[in-house]
């Protein structure tokens, strides 16, 4: 190997290494949060990760070189084209270094392992080395000495680069750990999400998986107890009125949740099925049954005697029939929000809590926070839930905000076991518009009724429960729930939602901003699927297709 060839390799490697990527983002994030002590373990982890990926790549290249000089030449040409493609893609994407301090206390060994995993287990690393290294290999020279020289050179440079980034970030942490200064330090670009409810978190999750640079801003903590996604649990169910289209979208919803559970490493769905009780001809429970029949979705129909025998908390003689479906259960919202927030941080997204957005400049792609700081992005997705009209008051003709409350109760002692094994109750029939979630995974038993919601001009107004409010909600459930006065109210929580007139979901595009309101009192169950669909629209620009899907106008 000539000195000129080695020097060219070293120079090219240096240029490539200093360009920030996911590995350097991780190094800087740890250094900003924890200082100079992170420099050595992170640099060692990066070097080990590059050693792993580079060795695997070199062994594959060596095998090709030994097998066929022609194949090696073809690989070299393809690799050159791939490197050009990466350069063009990087230039057009406006990539960003988004550095948020990591303050989670971990040992040096765990930091090193984290850096190794991020560097070594990224399939793009091996692909890159396979494209990069053949440009400098001499197929007429002995392969193994070249491999040793190239790997030693690259690993030394990679170690020095990571170590240098860590020291610089640690030195500057007193300046850049201030949120305003961090935003000055960061380049603009990527996708910015406003609102970390289920739609925002799921969209961020899908965007990160697709390779986008993502930041998400939430006005409160995650989960936010004032938001619709901040309660203990929400119902998922197949049943919808005939002709709405949402019943068949549940198939996609389940698929999206399964994908999320795989990424989070655990499921937050208690799949206990759902129960509906019809008390009057044409009531909502009967309409849901007709929707299941229209879609040929299975359910079990029970007469009153059989239903009371199976679920002894029902009052005999108070209803016409009941039916049960296995396609339903309870989604544990707080656990989902906490899990997604942790996953996003671990996978390179910026997550900003307690950062209230007061203005969105859709044309400029800029948001302003309550403290006066600004953030800029190539694309903004607003999933602000009940607060969306404060940012986009022009949507007041399509969206209306409501305030409601939910009662948590303790059932009679002799019925506790029956409730612990009961399905969620989607509808109690009549005009109650009432649902119930039993005792599940440590969360309390909940009563909620559509009769209790009232319009509000401000999602922050009247959020404290009124004395006796829980008992008012509870009493709406008799009939068909027997002995209702024995259900002791333990807690009352308020909630705010946006609704459309037809209870369909909404998307609105203006400038660089996409506003999504997937609520209307039934949106949580679609949260993971909404996130995947919104992320797809951000990627391919098909907002029209997104709108049709949100309205359940396409299968």
Select the more confidently predicted residue: 55 or 404: 404
CATH of the domain spanning 274-325+400-499, picked from 3.30.420.40, 3.40.50.720, 3.30.9.10, 3.40.50.620: 3.30.9.10
Is the separation of the CB atoms in 199 and 205 below 8 Å?
no
Cis before 17 (ω within 30): no
What pLDDT is attached to residue 501? Answer: 95
Domain edges within the chain: 3-181, 188-272+329-395+502-555, 274-325+400-499
| pLDDT tens digits along 366-389 | 999 998 989 999 999 999 999 999
pLDDT for residue 35 = 72
Task: Report the predicted TM-score, pTM, of the whole model to 2 decimal places.
Answer: 0.69
Report the mean per-residue pLDDT for the chain: 86
Least confident of 364-378, 406-420, 459-473, 484-498: 364-378
Q: Is 446 left (phi over 0), alpha (psi -120 to 50) or beta?
A: beta
Nearest CA-CA partner of 208 in 460, 464, 10, 25: 25
Query: What is the pairing mode between strands 400-410 and 488-499?
Result: antiparallel
What would the pLDDT profile of 4-57 be if each residue is shown by its tens digit? 878 887 887 787 777 666 677 777 777 776 677 787 888 898 888 878 877 776
DSSP 422: P
- Cα torsion 343, 347, 353, 355: sign: negative
- Name, of 127-136, 142-151, 373-382, 469-478, the range with top average pLDDT: 469-478
Q: Give per-residue pLDDT as tens, 66-105.
A: 455 454 455 445 544 544 554 554 445 444 445 555 555 5
3-state secondary structure of 387: helix
Residue 165 CB-half CA count within 13 A: 26
Percent of the chain with pLDDT over 90: 63
| 188-272+329-395+502-555 to CATH, choices 3.40.50.620, 2.40.50.100, 3.50.50.60, 1.10.10.1100 | 3.50.50.60
Fold match between domain 188-272+329-395+502-555 and domain 274-325+400-499? no
pLDDT of residue 133: 66
Higher confidence at residue 106 or residue 170?
170
């Amino acid at each position: 190997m000539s000195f000129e060839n080695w020097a060219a390799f070293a120079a090219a490697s240096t240029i490539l290494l200093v360009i920030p990527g996911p590995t350097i983002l991780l190094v800087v994030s740890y250094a900003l949060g924890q200082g100079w002590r992170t420099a050595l373990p992170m640099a060692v982890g990066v070097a080990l990760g590059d050693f792993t990926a580079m060795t695997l790549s070199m062994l594959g290249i060596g095998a090709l070189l030994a097998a066929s000089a022609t194949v090696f030449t073809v690989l070299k040409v393809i690799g050159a084209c791939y490197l050009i493609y990466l350069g063009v893609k990087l230039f057009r994407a406006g990539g960003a270094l988004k550095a948020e301090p990591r303050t989670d206390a971990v040992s040096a060994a765990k930091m090193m392992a984290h850096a190794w995993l991020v560097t070594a287990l990224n399939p793009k690393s091996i692909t890159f080395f396979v494209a990069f290294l053949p440009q400098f290999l001499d197929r007429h020279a002995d392969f193994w000495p070249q491999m040793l020289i190239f790997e030693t050179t690259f690993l030394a440079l990679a170690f020095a680069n990571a170590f240098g980034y860590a020291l610089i970030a640690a030195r500057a942490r007193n300046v850049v750990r201030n949120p305003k200064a961090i935003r000055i330090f960061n380049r603009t670009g990527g996708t910015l999400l406003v609102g970390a409810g289920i739609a925002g978190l799921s969209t961020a999750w899908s965007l990160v998986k697709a390779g986008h640079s993502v930041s998400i801003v939430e006005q409160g903590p995650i989960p936010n107890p004032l938001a619709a996604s901040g309660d203990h649990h929400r119902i998922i169910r197949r049943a919808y009125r005939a002709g709405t289209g949402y019943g068949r979208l549940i198939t996609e919803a389940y698929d999206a949740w399964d994908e999320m559970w795989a990424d989070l490493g655990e499921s937050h769905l208690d799949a206990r099925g759902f129960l509906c009780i019809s008390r009057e001809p044409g009531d909502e429970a009967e309409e849901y049954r007709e929707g299941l029949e229209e879609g040929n979705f299975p359910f079990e129909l029970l007469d009153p005697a059989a239903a009371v025998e199976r679920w002894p908390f029902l009052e005999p003689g108070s209803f016409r029939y009941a039916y049960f479906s296995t396609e339903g259960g309870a989604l544990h919202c707080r656990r989902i929000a906490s899990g997604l927030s942790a996953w996003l941080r671990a996978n390179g997204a910026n997550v900003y809590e307690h950062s209230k957005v007061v203005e969105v400049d859709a044309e400029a792609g800029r948001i302003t926070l309550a403290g006066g700081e600004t953030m800029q992005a190539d694309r903004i997705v607003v999933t602000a839930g009940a607060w969306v009209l404060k940012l986009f008051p022009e949507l007041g003709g399509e969206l209306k905000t409501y305030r409601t409350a939910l009662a948590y109760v303790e059932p009679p002692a002799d019925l506790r076991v029956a409730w612990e094994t009961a399905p969620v109750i989607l509808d109690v029939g009549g005009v109650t518009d009432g649902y119930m979630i039993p005792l599940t995974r440590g969360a309390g038993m909940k009563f909620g009724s559509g009769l209790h919601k009232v319009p509000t001009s401000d999602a922050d107004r009247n959020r404290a429960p009124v004395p006796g409010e829980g008992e008012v909600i509870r009493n709406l459930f008799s009939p068909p729930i027997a002995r209702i006065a024995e259900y002791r109210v333990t807690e009352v929580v308020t909630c705010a939602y946006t609704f459309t007139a037809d209870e369909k979901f909404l998307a609105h595009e203006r400038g660089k901003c996409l506003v999504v309101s997937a609520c209307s009192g039934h949106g949580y169950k679609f949260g993971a699927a909404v996130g995947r669909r919104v992320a797809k629209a951000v990627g391919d620009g098909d907002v029209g297709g997104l709108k049709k899907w949100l309205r359940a106008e396409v299968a």
